[in-house]
Structures are given as C-alpha cells and as structure tokens.
C-alpha cells in the first residue's frame, strides 16, 4: 500500500457506512429523464463487475479511459455527453468524476479516447477542477464503490464553455433523446 493510502485507510474505515442516497444520482435528475434507452457496454469490463486497474486513478492504475460501445443512436443525435459518477463516495451526493461531450459516432470510443489531448472531446471541470478522465479511486478502507458511466444522446450541441457541473442537468433539460448506463466496481 502506498504511504498516502496508508494514511487515508483509517479515515476510510471510519466513514465505511457513510454513503449518499442513490436517489440523488444524476441518473435520477428529472431534466435528464427519457423513455428511450441506449445499451452502453465496454469490452474492458462487464456491467456490475470490477473495472480493471489500468482504468483506475492514482495509486491503482494508469487513468486510461475504458473503451465504450453503444447500440444505434437516435437519428436526431447531435451530441453525446458522458458522465462518470462514484455512487458510494462518503459525502451527501455521489461524486462526479468526469463530464465529457463529443460528436456522435456509431463506432463508440476506443480505450484512452477520453482525454484533453483530443480536441474533439469537451470537458466540464469536476468539483476538484479536473477537466479530464478521472478514473475510479475509492477512499482506501471505505469498501466497494460503484462507478456509473452515463451516456446521453442530445438533439443539440452543448456549449461547455458556459457550464459548470451543478448546472449540467438544467442545461440538458428538454434535449435528451436517449440515455444508457454501465456500472463497474472497485475496492481498495
């Protein structure tokens, strides 16, 4: 165990039973509700299973985004938004790791594609001011965490230069054509 993780482990154990109410997940924001579903999958992990270390954050992996694939998008899709949230962070609301937008494609995203090095990927900084793919990294000692990848197909292109993470649902209100989720787990 890395020395920083060793220092955090007792805190994680102390907060082990503190988890947010899943009802406040971005998936339940009424502004993002839609009846149309996208089947979101990854060749790197199966829904409900462990996310490989190389896709995880500091002290675990290399923080390389997993490959993502999806079924047919609605014909009117003009933009896709990917949100990655930690459903088990010991705070009052799930932690948003990554918010990225990109042009629609039936080909999906290859491994490592969610990066600021790609000018076609637009990011909203998370609460830690990180505008990039932020891989899973549970608080050491806190137990298993679920990481949900959300994909939203929109009928418009979102201007991320004028948005912050707290206003994302309202900015997408009325524009969500379809959505899908994929959940992976990680424990330290």
- pLDDT on residue 10: 86
Structure tokens at 131: 């505008």
- Quote the pLDDT of residue 72: 92
Residues 66, 109: contact at Cβ < 8 Å?
no
- What integer pLDDT is reported at residue 11 of this predicted model? 85
CB 114 within 8 A of CB 123: no
The pLDDT of residue 52 is 98
pLDDT of residue 5: 84
Please list the ranges in the chain whose pLDDT falls under 50. none
Residue 4 has a pLDDT of 80
Residue 120's CB: how many other CB atoms inside 10 A? 9
């Amino acid at each position: 165990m890395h020395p920083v993780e060793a220092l955090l482990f007792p805190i994680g154990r102390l907060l082990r039973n503190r988890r947010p109410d899943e009802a406040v997940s971005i998936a339940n924001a009424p502004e993002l509700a839609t009846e149309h579903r996208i089947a979101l999958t990854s060749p790197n992990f199966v829904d409900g299973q462990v996310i490989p270390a190389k896709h995880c954050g500091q002290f675990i992996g290399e923080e390389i985004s997993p490959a993502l694939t999806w079924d047919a998008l609605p014909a009117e899709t003009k933009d896709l938004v990917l949100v990655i949230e930690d459903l088990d962070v010991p705070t009052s609301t799930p932690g948003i790791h990554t918010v990225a937008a990109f042009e629609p494609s039936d080909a999906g995203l290859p491994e490592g594609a969610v990066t600021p090095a790609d000018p076609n990927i637009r990011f909203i900084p998370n609460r830690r001011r990180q505008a990039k793919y932020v891989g899973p990294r549970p608080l050491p000692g806190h137990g298993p965490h679920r990481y949900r990848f959300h994909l939203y197909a929109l009928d418009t292109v979102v201007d991320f230069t004028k948005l912050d993470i707290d206003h994302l649902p309202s900015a997408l209100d009325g524009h969500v054509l379809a959505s899908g989720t994929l959940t992976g787990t990680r424990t330290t």
